[in-house]
């Protein structure tokens, strides 16, 4: 396949693995890159910038194909050393960085000097246009169906992808709502240059999470996610579990809630425990509505090959409608 994304990033297929906390490790990133997509390590999964450097080197022992690193930049009382993580990525020779959260303008000049491509993930057209003005190379835009934080606008993938494709001049990646060749074909037909998948790559052989969680993703339907933090104006989509049900119940009680009322349920460490032990009562499981499209647990190689074949078949069928 040939799009602006494959040409710019040097990959065979316009399929990008989402940067996922605790999941974006060398095993998964290397497998996606070896299969022809773009694997992504998640910087903040590593406890220090030095640990990230070691993870980058570990990934290089598993693949000689391009891969990137995600750095999500969020305001916090005691934020991680974002600049040190960014410098570690650049100094390690990684040529693709996916940023998310705050506008990456503070890092763009440094990235350009080092010959690094920046993919910026956002959830609204206004943020995408701002990122384009500030000089990012690619925008990855999240529709409301996605896992993680889909923003507060509530705009679904179909409309958001089409609006963004009509307004942006730089390459565009569709994120959220993509899990198979059918949805990939739909996104490409809208006019995007590539697709990003997180939830679907969690249900693969190489994903470094417990098999019970992978099987749970198969069992769930598109109706089995919860929107949490909605009342706190920091909406997040997670799998429907006893933990996320409890969060929703606390948020919806008379008088509402403050973050401190749910903090014990939603901590990142507890989510990591759930992913690694398979015990969904430990913490949140982040997942998008694409769980309704997941039917198996293939290798990344098999998944990407099947997606590409299916996408081609659906695009061919659509073209046949016009004679």
Condensed to tens digits (0 to 9), the pLDDT of residues 250-290 reads 999 998 899 999 999 999 999 999 999 999 999 999 999 99
Q: Residue 102: what pLDDT?
A: 87
pTM value? 0.96
In angstroms, the CA 272 to CA 111 distance is 30
In angstroms, the CA 31 to CA 39 distance is 7
Q: Are strands 67-73 and 39-42 parallel, antiparallel or unpaired?
A: parallel
- The candidate with the shortest Cα–Cα distance to 217, out of 297, 140, 306, 159, is 297
Q: Which two tokens stand for residue 177?
A: 């709502």
Condensed to tens digits (0 to 9), the pLDDT of residues 213-258 reads 999 999 999 999 999 999 999 999 999 999 999 999 999 999 889 9
For the chain, how far is it from start to end, CA to CA, in angstroms? 23
Q: Is the pLDDT of residue 84 over 80?
A: yes
How many other CB atoms are there within 10 angstroms of residue 71's CB atom?
A: 25
Query: 121: which DSSP letter?
Result: E
- The candidate with the shortest Cα–Cα distance to 184, out of 310, 36, 303, 38, is 310
Q: Is the pLDDT of residue 33 over 80?
A: yes
Assign 323 a pLDDT band (cuts: 50, 70, 90). Answer: confident
Assign 127 a pLDDT band (cuts: 50, 70, 90). Answer: very high
Q: Is the pLDDT of residue 196 over 80?
A: yes
Q: Which two tokens stand for residue 2?
A: 């040939």
Average pLDDT, the chain: 97
The rounded percent of the chain whose pLDDT value lies above 70 is 100
Question: Residue 175 phi/psi, 5° resolution?
Answer: -125, 130
Residue extents of the structural domains in the chain: 4-206+299-320, 220-289
Q: Is the pLDDT of residue 77 over 80?
A: no
Assign 106 a pLDDT band (cuts: 50, 70, 90). Answer: confident
In angstroms, the CA 167 to CA 209 distance is 38
- The candidate with the shortest Cα–Cα distance to 190, out of 210, 175, 207, 206, is 175
Q: Domain 4-206+299-320 falls in which CATH fold?
A: TIM Barrel (3.20.20)
């Amino acid at each position: 396949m040939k799009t602006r994304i494959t040409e710019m990033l040097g990959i065979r297929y316009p399929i990008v693995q989402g940067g996922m906390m605790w999941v974006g490790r060398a095993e998964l990133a290397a497998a996606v890159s070896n299969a022809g997509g773009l694997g992504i390590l998640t910087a903040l999964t590593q406890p220090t910038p030095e640990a990230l450097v070691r993870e980058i080197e570990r990934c290089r022992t598993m693949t000689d194909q391009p891969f990137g690193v995600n750095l999500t930049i969020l305001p916090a009382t005691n934020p991680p050393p974002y600049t040190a993580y960014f410098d570690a990525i650049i100094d390690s020779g990684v040529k693709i960085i996916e940023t998310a959260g705050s506008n990456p303008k503070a890092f763009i000049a440094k990235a350009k000097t080092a010959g690094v491509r920046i993919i910026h993930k956002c959830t609204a057209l206004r943020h995408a246009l701002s990122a384009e003005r500030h000089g990012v190379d690619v925008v990855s835009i999240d529709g409301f169906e996605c896992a993680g934080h889909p923003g507060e606008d509530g705009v679904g993938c179909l409309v958001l992808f089409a609006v963004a494709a009509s307004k942006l001049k730089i390459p565009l990646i569709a994120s959220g709502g993509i899990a198979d060749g059918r949805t990939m074909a739909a996104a490409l037909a809208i006019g995007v240059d590539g697709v990003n998948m997180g939830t679907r790559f969690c249900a693969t052989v190489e994903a470094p999470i417990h098999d019970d969680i992978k099987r749970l993703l198969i069992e769930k339907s598109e109706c089995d996610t919860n929107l949490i933090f909605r009342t706190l104006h920091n909406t997040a989509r997670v799998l429907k579990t006893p933990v996320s049900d409890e969060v929703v119940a606390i948020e919806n009680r008379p008088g509402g809630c403050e973050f401190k009322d749910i903090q014990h349920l939603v901590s990142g460490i507890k989510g990591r425990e759930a992913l690694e032990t398979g015990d969904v009562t430990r913490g949140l499981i982040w997942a998008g509505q694409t769980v309704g499209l997941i039917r198996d647990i293939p290798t990344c190689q098999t998944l990407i090959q099947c997606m590409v074949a299916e996408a081609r078949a659906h695009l061919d069928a659509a073209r046949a409608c016009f004679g």
